[in-house]
Amino acid sequence: MEEYFAQVGVYVMPSTDVWYDDTRFLIDRLTAIDAGTDQETVGTRDRFAGRLDLERLGVAGMSFGGSTAGVTCIRDRRCKAGVNIDGWQFGQILDHPLQVPFLFMSREGNGQFPVFFGSSADLLHVEVRGTTHGSFADLAIAMPFFRWIALPNLALLGTTDGAIIERVMSRYLLAFFQRYLLDVPQALLDAPSPPDDLRDATLTVVRPSTARPAPNAPSGPS
């Protein structure tokens, strides 16, 4: 794994830095808007000044955007929790483990979750059966149409219906951010198995004191 990251880093790290800089720029602007000092939002300055709770900031993204979310949470202390949706986690994560809660949501068979081990905060992995990388994009919602016109190649989208994937994503992302940003208890994240309407998902929770992750069985106190 380390050798792989060393090889691809030559090509990927410049893009990672650019995407991270863009994300940091956005956070900087939000901070200025909240402080009422942003000079380019005169018309909205009073509307948002003092109303943005940037002490509870979460960053999420899909694919390379997910990798960028991880990089942001490593480099920028303003990030208090992050989500990577099926993106390869670049950005020197092996040398700089995460220090904030992080959710990695992935397609079936994505074996990358161990690269997050070593974090000093809770790690969560949601794997969705019957999915591919493309399953987490908006295109997955159109799966019934593709089946209707009998397209022979659905490998791009997997076999799980897009509406199910959307439900899994919405429920787990909402529960994750409500727990780790708002400190609201979430039974979904502590359940020994997912509810029936989320049965296509498998949740693994790794806490800093947990030696080995246990699928569907969060370890340690909430």
Q: For residue 98, what are the contacts with CB-CB under 8 A and spacing of at least 6?
A: 70, 73, 74, 82, 116, 119, 120, 121, 123
Q: What is the CATH number of the domain that holds 189?
A: 3.40.50.1820
The reported pLDDT for the residue numbered 67 is 93
**Residue 136 falls within a domain, yes or no?**
yes
User: How many distinct helices (H) and strands (E) make up the chain?
Assistant: 5, 6
Q: Where are the alpha helices (DSSP H) in 49-161?
A: 64-75, 143-148
> Which position has the token pair 């909430």?
222
Domain assignment of residue 59, yes or no: yes
- The confidence score (pLDDT) of residue 117 equals 86
Is 44 a member of any domain? no
Give the chain's length.
Answer: 222
Planar angle of CA 126, 80, 175, nearest 5 degrees: 40
pLDDT at 158: 80
Structural domain includes residue 6: no
Q: Is 83 helix (H, G, I), strand (E, B) or coil?
A: strand
Asked if the structure places residue 197 within a domain, the reply is yes
Does residue 156 lie within any of the structural domains?
Answer: yes
Residue 37 in domain: no
Total tally of structural domains belonging to the chain: 1
| CA dist., res. 168 & res. 165, Å (int) | 5
pLDDT digits (tens, 9 = 90+) for 188-200: 999 888 999 999 9
How far apart are the C-alpha atoms of 29 and 31, rounded to whole Å? Answer: 5
pLDDT digits (tens, 9 = 90+) for 12-24: 567 889 999 999 9
With a cut of 50, list the residues of the chain below it in pLDDT. 1-2, 4-5, 7-11, 211-222
Report if residue 153 sits inside a domain: yes
Instruction: Residue 176: give the domain boundaries.
Output: 54-210
